[in-house]
Chain A
């Protein structure tokens, strides 16, 4: 069965500093990986995805993520954090050869301090 782990419930970073939100996955086949962001009282918004090709994926709002097959990870990164980046971030995986059901992680709360 496929699974996603977001090992940190909360990440704190100062504005202007780089940020990383971690995600690891487990699938039987090749993964399709996604990051979504959820602002208070709003639905999830798509940030970026990895399907195939370049391991470094660039997405919305200056975010990027690096796919690492050997470490089964897909960490979300941003070179310089903004206070407005404070939100709940979800990693999700779909297995190319397994279940079509998208599996989401528990979410990581990112807090950017001024």
Chain B
């Protein structure tokens, strides 16, 4: 089966600019996650969707980050305006169910550099 797809793979922007990332989960996976992975750290959950509803966004900086999953399939994560500290790899993951014991399948990530 096809894996989790993400685009773009790399993005370089200047601070205060806007950027958007796209994710297409594994077909049939109802749960979708966005993570931020800063160099030298483990992934940090930003937001979790179950179908097109938000399960948890407690760690999402809502003043500049937003995410949506309108039709319960693809998702976009947006940063507006970007700051230098947003430089990181943004990972999308999906799982078949929302339960805490289900493993996640990760995409290759988008490496964002903010200059």
Contact B101 A104 (CB under 8 A): no
Contact of A43 (CB < 8 Å), options: B4, B44, B56, B101 = B4
**Segment 83-114 of A: residues with Cβ below 8 Å from B:** 90, 92, 94-96, 99-107
Interface residues of A, count at CB 8 A: 26
Q: How many contacts A-B (CB < 8 Å)? A: 59
Which residues from A are CB-within-8-Å of B43?
Answer: 44, 90, 104
Whether B2 is near chain A, meaning CB under 8 Å from some CB there, is no
**Cβ contacts B35-68/A at 8 Å (1 or 0 each):** 0000011111100100000011011000000000
Question: In whole angstroms, what is the CA distance A4 to B107 when docked?
Answer: 23
- Does A32 lie within 8 Å of B109, measured CB to CB? no
- Assembly CA distance A34 to B44 (angstroms): 15
Interface size band for B: 20 to 34
Please tell me if the beta carbons of A106 and B108 are within 8 angstroms of each other in the complex: no
- Give every chain A residue within 8 A of B58 (Cβ-Cβ): 101
On chain A, the residues within 8 Å of B109 by CB distance are 43
**CB <8 Å contact, B100 and A107:** no
A101 near B59: Cβ-Cβ < 8 Å:
yes
Please report A residues at the B interface, Cβ cutoff 8 Å. Answer: 4, 32, 34, 36, 41-46, 49, 51, 90, 92, 94-96, 99-107
